[in-house]
C-alpha cells in the first residue's frame, strides 16, 4: 500500500474589510504568530518560498500592505507609522494580540515602527535586508522619488514595454549580460504598478522613506531601544539594493542582537535560501524568550542612551 504524501502547506489567500478598505492577507500553519511584511512594490507572495518550512512551527500572517498586492489602494497616509497601524488593526481583527514581527526591506522599516509604536504587541523583531538603517539605497529607487516620475510609471507598466523588456532580457541572457536578480526584482515590481491607484500608493510609500539623494528615514537614534527586544538581523552578502554595511552597523548599535549573513544571496535572502532562512528564524525564536513590554515601555528611555543627550 502506498501512503499518500500530504500537500505542502501554502499561504492561503484571504481578505477582510478594515476601516472600509479591502485588506488582503495570506496565512498558514499553527503555533506562535509570525507577521511577515514585504517590501515596496512587492506582496505577501514574496514569503511563499519559506512557507512550508516556517508553517511547521508558526502561524504565518502575511498581509498585502495597503496599495500593494490585492489590498485596496485608497488615497491617504502611506507613512511607516500608517502602515504599522494598519498591520496592528489587521492583527486585532484576526484576534492576535502579541506577535513576532518579520520585515523585509520597506517591511523592515515598518517592523521597527510597529515595535516602537506598539511594544505591548511585539515579542521579537526580525529585520531582513531592512530599510531605514542608512542613507544608501539603489539608484532606481532614488530615481523613482524624483518629481515627474508619476508621468513615466504608466509607460513602464504598459504591456508593450513588458513584452519588449522580456525580449531584451532574453537577448541579454544569451550574451550573459542579463541584469542581476535584485535589479530584475525591482523591474518586476515597477511592472506590477498597473493601475493609477497602485502607482500613486507606490509613490506615496516610497517618498515617505526615500528621496533622490537616498533614504530619508533612519532609525539610528532609536536602535538602542532594542536592548529590551530580541532582535535578529538577516542580510544577503551580495545585496545591491541596500548595502550589507547597514546590517553590520545596526547589529553593532542594537545590544544583544543576532546577525546572520547569507553567502551568495542578494536582497531577498528568504527567497535565495528559504530553508536556511526558516532554520535561522526558527532557531532564533526557540532560543529567545518572547518579551512582554508595556505600552509605555519606552518612556524612561526616550532621552537617548546615557551620555548622548544635550543636557540634564
Annotated domain spans of the chain = 15-137+215-294, 139-210
Q: Exposed, middle or buried, 238 (CB in 10 Å: 0-12/13-18/19+)?
A: middle
**DSSP run (H or E) holding 296:** none
Q: b/e for 245-255, b at 16 or more Cβ within 10 A?
A: ebbeebbebbe
- The vertex-92 CA angle with 91 and 94, nearest 5°, equals 65
Domain 15-137+215-294 sits in CATH 3.40.50.1820: yes
Per-residue pLDDT of the chain (312 residues; tens, 9 = 90+): 333 334 447 889 999 999 999 999 999 999 999 999 999 989 999 999 999 999 999 999 999 999 999 999 999 999 999 999 999 999 999 999 999 999 999 999 999 999 999 999 999 999 999 999 999 999 989 988 898 877 666 655 554 444 444 443 444 344 343 345 788 888 778 777 878 888 899 999 999 999 999 999 999 888 888 888 999 999 999 999 999 999 999 999 998 999 999 999 999 999 999 999 999 999 999 999 999 988 888 777 776 554 544 433
Residue 128 phi, psi dihedral angles, 5° rounding? -120, 110
CA gap 300, 103 in Å, rounded: 27
Pairing relation of β-strands 59-63 and 122-128?
unpaired
Alpha carbon 10 to its chain centroid, in Å, reads 19
> Of 30, 93, 37, nearest to 62 (Cα)?
37
The single residue listed with the C-alpha cell 528564524 is 281
**DSSP run (H or E) holding 82:** helix 80-94
Q: How far is CA 47 from CA 122, 197, 213, 233, in A?
A: 20, 24, 30, 17
Q: Enumerate the active-site residues.
A: 105, 239, 267
CA gap 226, 61 in Å, rounded: 23
Amino acid at each position: 500500500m502506498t501512503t499518500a504524501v500530504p500537500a505542502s502547506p501554502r499561504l492561503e489567500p484571504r481578505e477582510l474589510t478594515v476601516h472600509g478598505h479591502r485588506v488582503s492577507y495570506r496565512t498558514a500553519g499553527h503555533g506562535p504568530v509570525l507577521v511577515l511584511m514585504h517590501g515596496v512594490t512587492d506582496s505577501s507572495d514574496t514569503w511563499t518560498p519559506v512557507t512550508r518550512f516556517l508553517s511547521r512551527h508558526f502561524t504565518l500572517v502575511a498581509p498585502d500592505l495597503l496599495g500593494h498586492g490585492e489590498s485596496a489602494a485608497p488615497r491617504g497616509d502611506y507613512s511607516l507609522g500608517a502602515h504599522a497601524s494598519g498591520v496592528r488593526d489587521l492583527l486585532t481583527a484576526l484576534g492576535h494580540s502579541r506577535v513576532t514581527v518579520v520585515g523585509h526591506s520597506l517591511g523592515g522599516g515598518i517592523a521597527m515602527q510597529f515595535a516602537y509604536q506598539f511594544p505591548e504587541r511585539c515579542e521579537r523583531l526580525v529585520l531582513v535586508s531592512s530599510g531605514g538603517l542608512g542613507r544608501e539605497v539603489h539608484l532606481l529607487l532614488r530615481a523613482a522619488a524624483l518629481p515627474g516620475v508619476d508621468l513615466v510609471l504608466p509607460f513602464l507598466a504598459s504591456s508593450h514595454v513588458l513584452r519588449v523588456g522580456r525580449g531584451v532580457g532574453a537577448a541579454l541572457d544569451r550574451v550573459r549580460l542579463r541584469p542581476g536578480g535584485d535589479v530584475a526584482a525591482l523591474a518586476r515590481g515597477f511592472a506590477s504598478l498597473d493601475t493609477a491607484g497602485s502607482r500613486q500608493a507606490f509613490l506615496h510609500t516610497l517618498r515617505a522613506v526615500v528621496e533622490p539623494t537616498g533614504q530619508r528615514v533612519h532609525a539610528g537614534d532609536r536602535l538602542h531601544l532594542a536592548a529590551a527586544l530580541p532582535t535578529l538581523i538577516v542580510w544577503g552578502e551580495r545585496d545591491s539594493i541596500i548595502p550589507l554595511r547597514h546590517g553590520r552597523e545596526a547589529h553593532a548599535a542594537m545590544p544583544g542582537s543576532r546577525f546572520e549573513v547569507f553567502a551568495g544571496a542578494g536582497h531577498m535572502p528568504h527567497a535565495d535560501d528559504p530553508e536556511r532562512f526558516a532554520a535561522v528564524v526558527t532557531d532564533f525564536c526557540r532560543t529567545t524568550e518572547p518579551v512582554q513590554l508595556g505600552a509605555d515601555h519606552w518612556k524612561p528611555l526616550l532621552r537617548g542612551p546615557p551620555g548622548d543627550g544635550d543636557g540634564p
